[in-house]
Amino acid sequence: MLCGSAALDSTTHMVADFDVSAPPSLILLDEPTNHLDIRSREHLAAVLADYEGSLVIISHDRFFLDGFVNRFGRLRWESKGIRRKL
């Protein structure tokens, strides 16, 4: 299934039911909780907590991240470019 051709509801459902039985070594997620209800957020957090690979997650939802993220970074845009703070 191509994510680009799926409707928003089916994309959200697909993410919530993501099968990690044969996981890739890296998962990139950009604001994964934006359109999820509380139950779906909890399910996604549980799945990601069990994931043994690396995760790069862009999120403003610190409460969601606190359950499984062990390292935070912050990027801040400045007039001279992006300033990285890890």
Beta strands 81-85 and 74-78: pairing type? antiparallel
pLDDT of res. 31: 94
Instruction: Determine the structural domain holding residue 59 and report its residue range.
Output: 3-85
Cβ atoms 12, 40 nearer than 8 A: yes
Full pLDDT tens readout for the chain, 86 residues: 334 444 455 555 555 555 656 657 888 999 999 999 999 999 999 999 888 888 899 998 888 888 788 888 877 777 666 556 55
pLDDT of res. 6: 46
The pair of structure tokens assigned to 35 is 């359109």
pTM (2 decimals)?
0.59
Domain count, the chain: 1
- Which CATH number characterizes residue 30's domain? 3.40.50.300
**CA-closest candidate to residue 27, choices 6, 9, 47, 41:** 47
DSSP-based three-state secondary structure for 72: coil
